[in-house]
Copies of this chain bind each other. A is one copy, B any other.
Amino acid sequence: MSAETRVPVQRTARSRLTAAFEAEISQLLGTRWSQSEAVRDHHGRDESSYPPMPPDGVAFVQSTEEVAAVLKLCQAHRVPVIPYGNGSSVEGHVLAVEGGISLDISGMSGLLELHPEDFTVSVQPGLSRRQLNEELRHTGLFFPIDPGADASIGGMCATSASGTNAVRYGTMRENVLALTVVLIDGRVIRTGTRARKSSAGYDLTHLFIGSEGTLGVITEVTLRLHPQPEQILAATCSFPRIGAAVSTVVQIIQYGMAISRVEFIDALAVRAINRHAHLQMPEQPTLFFEFAGSPAAVQEQVAIVSGLVAEAGGSGFAWAEQQEDRNRLWHARHQAYFAALQLKPGCRAMATDVCVPISRLAECVEATVADLADASIPAPIVGHVGDGNFHLIMLVDPDRPEEWAEAEQINRRLVARAIAMDGSCSGEHGIGLHKQDFLRDQVGDDAVEVMRSLKRTLDPLNLMNPGKIFAAAVPQ
């Protein structure tokens, strides 16, 4: 697939829904089946740079049993199914590129079982990460994974999401104990237990985490929780140059410190956040930190980081200790994507997502900044740099194909750079529609074919979110 054919994607010519299917699903779901244009349109768009591609109908499901019934119906009628959480994908995951129905799980948003004494909670997939933490507030525990959007827990499983806390707490992969999954033929499996570890058979949990809705529908999730730290301290500080900021992060990570969060944003991203959130941060390369633990541990971390920052020429520490101040700071950071969009009215964003070994991070960021020097499109940089993961948010005029092409070429060079450093084309967003040839470049034809064979095994008719991860899961 070439860059030219990838953007924009055209919907393929799978046939539309039959009257028989519409009658059956209508009977099954009543008013929770909709083919209204507004509902279809809402479910055919996400935060990616693709134009909307609406499904042929939307099923609002309410239980595992109902999901099983809908999937069996879809299999019987050969209808593609696209699981839909909060629509916050940045890689086109919810777009109906082969038609079919959107399976909206937002009505399945309950907390099923809370076991604070085991640090576990079981939830339905439509619960969002913020809703979950609201529910947990009284327990002294929290769930750390925090992609920028207030994504659904099911969607976060599907993309193997992470965010600003991964440097300390890991990603979804390290924080999901078990899933309930419905397969396209209606079989329901549970992939794990509430025990902290298990060596019982193949690891089906991790097979579904990051499978982007292409293998089955997640209907229950059992998560690990973490104790809220005794003390939390957040801070920002500024650097004269990007290289100095990123190198400081590398030193902090190489020190082996258990820092909670360490995030980078460049001067342009600071400007976007300042405008969006009415802040007055210095418009320079900036690091966001969070230190957490016992007061003694926090004090130790702060002393070490302050020293490293000063040595690198960083300055202007702004501290936030009260929860309200910390929330404001992290809210600003989380809004970077949406703030960036406002730098160029009417634009769409193409977000890059490479992740490299930490020792190569400074080199990768600096080479990318050099590559952007002559770019005609604005591209603020934000990054979960403690993980070696950073994003360019390339702001593209949807009506100017030459801007798409330019962004695509920048992305392509960046991914090649990351892969050459033994890194990944995607740290947390997934492959979706946009990175299918990057995946092949990264893992090779044989590994892609192994993935496709697993897909064929669990979904022989290629009905689960077809066209995502792989251009086609059945040989063409």
Contact = CB atoms under 8 A, between A and B. Distances in A.
A426 B198 CA distance: 6
B296 A203 contact: no
Nearest to A359: B117
Interface string A171-203: 101100000000100011111011111111111
Interface in A404-419: 418-419
A429 B199 contact: yes
A357 interface: yes
A353 B190 CA distance: 21
Interface string A287-306: 00000001011001000000
17 contacts: A115-B359, A118-B359, A160-B203, A161-B199, A187-B450, A189-B450, A191-B447, A195-B418, A195-B422, A195-B423, A198-B427, A199-B427, A200-B426, A200-B443, A201-B431, A206-B207, A296-B300
A442 B201 CA distance: 10
A190 to B, nearest CB: 7
A203 B206 contact: yes
Contacts of A199: 159-161, 210, 353, 424, 426-431
A138 to B, nearest CB: 16
A30 to B, nearest CB: 29
B450 A387 contact: no
Nearest to A162: B197
B422 A193 contact: yes
Interface in A199-221: 199-207, 209-211, 215
A23 B443 CA distance: 35
Contacts of A426: 198-200
A211 B202 contact: yes
B444 A453 contact: no
A127 B207 CA distance: 27
A195 B388 contact: yes
A197 B206 CA distance: 13
A439 interface: yes
A425 B448 CA distance: 33
A376 B115 CA distance: 38
Contact of A355 (B196, B226, B425, B456): B196
A268 interface: no
Contacts of A204: 447, 450-451
B428 A193 contact: no
Given A196-B387, A200-B443, A300-B294, A174 B183 contact: no
B117 A173 contact: no
Interface centre among A206, A207, A422, A427 (most CB of B within 10 A): A422
A170 interface: yes
Contacts of A462: none
A156 B226 CA distance: 27
A204 to B, nearest CB: 7
Nearest to A360: B118
A112 to B, nearest CB: 12
A388 B120 CA distance: 14
Given A160-B199, A200-B443, 9 more contacts: A170-B174, A189-B447, A195-B389, A195-B423, A196-B387, A199-B427, A201-B443, A204-B447, A207-B454
Contacts of A355: 193, 195-198
Given A203-B160, A355-B195, A422-B194, A454 B457 contact: yes
A223 interface: no
Interface centre among A161, A203, A204, A294 (most CB of B within 10 A): A203
Q: Which 7 A-B pairs have the closest CB atoms?
A: A206-B206, A227-B256, A198-B424, A195-B355, A117-B359, A189-B447, A194-B422
B450 A195 contact: no
B457 A453 contact: yes
Contacts of A322: none
A166 interface: yes
Given A297-B294, A450-B458, A425 B200 contact: yes
A229 B166 CA distance: 21
Contacts of A387: 195-197
